[in-house]
Amino acid sequence: MEMKYISVKVRSAFRTCMQIFEALADGLYDTFKVIKYTSGWWKGYELERIEPKLHAAAHVLEKGMSLPDVRLGYGASGLRSLYGLMNAYVKSGFPPNRLAYQNAISVLHAYVAYHKEREHDVNEVKKRLTQYELSCDQSLEAGTVGFPLEEYRKLATGNFEQLAQSRFSIRAYGPEPVRREDIYKAMEIARKTPSACNRQSWRVYWVRSKKKKEEILKLHNGHRGFGDTIESFLVITADIKMIFGTAERNQVFVDGGLYSMSLLYALHYVGLGACPMNWCVRYRKDKAFHRMLDIPDSEAVVMLIAVGSLPSEVIAAKSERKAVDDILKVVE
């Protein structure tokens, strides 16, 4: 009996040592990739690094036009960094017809048109635009899209293509509170999400308390211009206890990400406005967040989703997408 007990102890100590070794090796493998491949100004401007920066900088300006209570002339520092990136792009000799660059120009045009409509002078941007004018692709039209509520609801409950094409990140909400039955219905639909071995590691925390929402806003960095108007947050987590060993270390984010996408579609379907929100934080904030919402340490936070009712006129940033040919590589 005692021998058997000792043997179990020895075997589990051995397994633990093996797991530590595997976790360190896999962790280092990931860490080196992060260090080697993530972007930073000191790594220079290869095309693959500058394009996402252009998309992100243009997106900040574009989404500004979809926010409630926009401050006219907003985004001075965003504009500066966009010009800097566009200049670096041109100087590096990258093709002017690529989406990232064309989209940036188009967003600047939309910014000017938006301000013209509101009779606010943005001469400096206009002047800058003349510099880029010649290479502008006229078929792109950045800015915002608007739908009367009825039309938006009809699209959301149409066929899948209509649902997918009409889902936008909503950052301006209506006055109605979010109904419990709508959240339940959306979660009923999202239950059908696939997951590795059907383990369904996801969890959802529906944060409605005003105090907790304020605390979330203090930790979060992507809510400028609409944070105060968010009715509630859905926090999507996935439980690391449900994965088997370090080879599956990313599975919580894959399964949790798939679930989040299902939930976003479902929220759109049930008639709620939703905006996915990053949880890209270093460990201290992550720990504080876990403590604040009483999320078990074993659960990884995948993302947050801001939810609110829809306003009578739904406005959203267009967020132009890459063409299929820019994404697809056929391997034959």
Footprint of ligand FMN (CB under 6 A):
59, 63, 168-169, 171, 222, 275-278, 303, 316, 319
- Residue with Cβ nearer ligand FMN (125 or 303): 303
- Residue with Cβ nearer ligand FMN (54 or 303): 303
- Residue with Cβ nearer ligand FMN (267 or 303): 303
- Residue with Cβ nearer ligand FMN (166 or 246): 166
| Three-state DSSP class for residue 305 | strand
> In whole angstroms, what is the distance from residue 127 CA to residue 138 CA?
18
> In whole angstroms, what is the distance from residue 117 CA to residue 216 CA?
35
Tell me which amino acid residue 252 is.
V
Shortest Å, Cβ 322 to ligand FMN: 12
> In whole angstroms, what is the distance from residue 143 CA to residue 116 CA?
13
End-to-end CA gap in the chain: 59
Comparing every residue's Cβ against ligand FMN, the nearest one is 222
- Residue with Cβ nearer ligand FMN (75 or 276): 276
- Residue with Cβ nearer ligand FMN (85 or 275): 275
Shortest Å, Cβ 219 to ligand FMN: 12
Beta-bridged to residue 205, according to DSSP, are: 235
In this structure, what token pair is assigned to residue 96?
Answer: 């002017």
Comparing CA positions, the residue from 6, 19, 311 lying closest to residue 172 is 311
Shortest Å, Cβ 4 to ligand FMN: 49
> In whole angstroms, what is the distance from residue 300 CA to residue 290 CA?
9
- Residue with Cβ nearer ligand FMN (85 or 107): 107
- Cβ atoms of 62 and 319 within 8 Å: the answer is yes
DSSP 70: P
| Helical ranges in the chain per DSSP H | 2-37, 47-64, 76-91, 99-117, 123-132, 149-156, 160-166, 180-190, 210-219, 251-269, 283-293, 324-327
Shortest Å, Cβ 66 to ligand FMN: 9
- Which long-range contacts does 291-297 make (Cβ < 8 Å, 24+ apart)? 292/212, 292/215, 292/216, 292/219, 293/205, 293/207, 293/212, 293/235, 295/205, 295/235, 295/237, 296/239
Shortest Å, Cβ 93 to ligand FMN: 28
- Residue with Cβ nearer ligand FMN (128 or 269): 269
Beta-bridged to residue 306, according to DSSP, are: 233, 275
Shortest Å, Cβ 295 to ligand FMN: 18
- Residue with Cβ nearer ligand FMN (63 or 109): 63
Comparing CA positions, the residue from 292, 291, 297, 263 lying closest to residue 277 is 263
Shortest Å, Cβ 319 to ligand FMN: 3
Shortest Å, Cβ 110 to ligand FMN: 14
Q: Which residue is associated with the tokens 């391997």?
A: 331
Shortest Å, Cβ 241 to ligand FMN: 23
